[in-house]
Amino acid sequence: MPFIPHTEEELRQMLDVIGVDSIEQLFDEIPAKLRCGELQGLGSGLWEQDITRLMQDKAREDGQPLCFIGAGAYDHHIPAAVWQLASRGEYYTAYTPYQAEASQGTLQLLYEYQSMMTELMDMDVSNASLYDGASALAEAVLMAVRANRKSRSRHILVPASLHPHYRATVRTLVKNQGIELVEIPYDRSTGQTDLQALAQHTGQDLAALVVPQPNFFGVLEDVDVLTEWARANGALSIAVVNPLAMAVLHPPGEWGEQGADICCGDGQPLGAPLSSGGPYFGFLCSKQTLVRQMPGRIIGRTVDLDGKEGFALTLQAREQHIRRSKATSNICTNQGLMVTAATIHMSLMGADGLASTASRCHSNLQLLVEKLTSLGEIEPLFSGPVFHETVLRLPLEPRRVLRTLAAHNILGGYDLAGHYPELGNALLVCATENRNQDDIDKYRLKMEQVLASRRQGACATMAKFDRE
């Protein structure tokens, strides 16, 4: 709420009813050594209008930078109606729909969300969301290990080109459960999963193969080959996809001859603002044969005794409902509000709208690459086809370039040095439909100035060397 509604008299009355003298007494069970004491450096209280002005001034200090960063979170346009509707009280404060008779609106919305996701991914079933894309992949890995009864190895093949944060999250969540993640290198020329390296695992006992589309470099994988390789080797295939890309690419249900077994990813491109990193939501879909192993909740549509349509929690095999040892997940968390926004977003955009957005993103990326490579010192690092984002090789360290660009209100991309030092001066750049030609021209101009400063600095250094 935007203000504190209780007066001192009302606080006193509530404390009297509870039977304590002060609010501090409500927390007397907290040991004194754990308390932080008085907070230092805090100013006196301000009036509401002064607080509003202060926060607006702070926001203006951040500026409104042009964002060319992707790396798993994307600056997409969100129609105004999405959050105008999602912020209504009946959605914004809705709790878990345990009582179907009192939660028909929430249940119907979740049912519609599931229907849209299964259509977008061409899969049979979808759950009603998870915490984020990384934890969704961890759940998919656990699901695959439970479901693949032909495998006893608990080995999961994971491409090195998968998002580094996803790999780290999965490793954290499964490392103590006897599951081994086996990394598959990427081809240094194409940026795709190295098929020769993958072939070395032919015939081994494997639980699943993770297939990103696109991968962290923005490169499109040969998903048909990877999915069929997994099936031929008795492994389940786990697709990790950008949902927006599925509006223009073949969805996981069409990969290979029989489609991927499980599909997951982050739903942020579907109506969730960047918001400094969240909240977002994870989605998880699968074939019907695996539905009993799916974590989270599934909403079903039915009819009551009078033949009227109704919605109910059809599957909810969580530790809250059944014996902990029998639960499909003890860690999954749904993101109902973000799913509400995504459902409204997909309804407003429709299939054509999503496809148009994806196409504009790709066109803008092509224009960005064309503009930057025309400077003569920048070139694409990989030859594989890309969507939405790509890796460029720079003539100097990306961190220096990004620092200078940021000073001019341009977020120029993602430095890969921390996760992929073997790539050298590699910068991951992205251009969504929110960028226009003026934005891209501004980026090119500032990049040109950065490179010119570098050349001038090098010439000055050489001149000094010659004089000496």
Residues 430-467: tens digit of each pLDDT: 999 999 999 999 999 999 999 998 877 655 543 443 44
Mean pLDDT value across residues 376-396: 96
Contact 430, 71 (CB under 8 A): yes
Strands (E), 61-136: 66-67, 125-126
Contact 222, 96 (CB under 8 A): no
State percent of the chain over pLDDT 70: 94
Domain ranges of the chain: 66-73+350-467, 80-346
pLDDT of residue 332: 67
Overall pTM surpassing 0.85 (yes/no): yes
**Locate tokens 């021209």: which residue?**
441
Of 251-260, 294-303, 352-361, 372-381, minimum mean pLDDT range = 294-303
Q: Which helix (H) or strand (E) holds 458?
A: helix 437-467
Q: Report the alpha-carbon angle 431-377-164, nearest 5.
A: 50
Contact 63, 409 (CB under 8 A): yes
Of 121-135, 278-292, 301-315, 438-452, minimum mean pLDDT range = 301-315
pLDDT of residue 331: 66
Does the pLDDT value for residue 209 go beyond 70?
Answer: yes
The whole-angstrom separation of Cα 185 and Cα 193 is: 6
pLDDT of residue 467: 47
Position 96 confidence tier, pLDDT thresholds 50, 70, 90: confident
Q: Residue 236 forms beta bridges with which residues?
A: 208
Phi/psi for 153 (5° steps) reads -80, -30
**Locate tokens 């103590």: which residue?**
176
Which CATH number, 3.40.50.300, 3.40.50.850, 3.40.640.10, 2.30.130.10, labels domain 80-346? 3.40.640.10
pLDDT of residue 317: 63
Does the pLDDT value for residue 205 go beyond 80?
Answer: yes
The per-residue pLDDT for range 242-263, each reduced to its tens digit, is: 999 999 999 999 999 999 999 9
Does the pLDDT value for residue 299 go beyond 50?
Answer: yes
66-73+350-467 domain in CATH 3.90.1150.10?
yes
List the one residue out of 242, 218, 239, 223 whose CA is nearest residue 383. 218
Of 59-63, 89-93, 100-104, 317-321, minimum mean pLDDT range = 317-321
Does the pLDDT value for residue 21 go beyond 50?
Answer: yes
Position 314 confidence tier, pLDDT thresholds 50, 70, 90: confident
List the one residue out of 119, 134, 172 whose CA is nearest residue 282. 134
Give the DSSP letter string of 217-247: TSBPP-HHHHHHHHHHTT-EEEEEE-TTGGG
The whole-angstrom separation of Cα 389 and Cα 212 is: 14
Mean pLDDT value across residues 37-47: 81
State percent of the chain over pLDDT 90: 74
Mean pLDDT value across residues 262-291: 96
Give the DSSP letter string of 395-409: SS-HHHHHHHHHHTT
The whole-angstrom separation of Cα 235 and Cα 287 is: 15
pLDDT of residue 320: 58
Mean pLDDT value across residues 368-396: 96
pLDDT of residue 465: 37
More confident residue, 164 or 29: 164
Q: Which helix (H) or strand (E) holds 411?
A: strand 410-411
Average pLDDT, the chain: 91
List the one residue out of 323, 333, 343 whose CA is nearest residue 112. 343
Give the DSSP letter string of 22-81: SGGGGGTTS-GGG---SPSS------HHHHHHHHHHHHHHH--PEE---TT-------HH
| Residue 302 DSSP label | E
Phi/psi for 260 (5° steps) reads -70, 160
The per-residue pLDDT for range 337-347, each reduced to its tens digit, is: 999 999 999 99
pLDDT of residue 463: 45
Mean pLDDT value across residues 161-188: 96
pLDDT of residue 375: 95
Mean pLDDT value across residues 62-80: 94
β pairing state of 389-393 and 426-430: antiparallel
The whole-angstrom separation of Cα 213 and Cα 160 is: 13
One-letter amino acid for residue 164 of the chain: P
Mean pLDDT value across residues 387-410: 95
Please compute, for residue 448, the number of CA atoms within 13 A of its CA located in the half-sphere on the CB side.
12
- Cis peptide upstream of residue 251 (ω within 30 degrees of 0): no
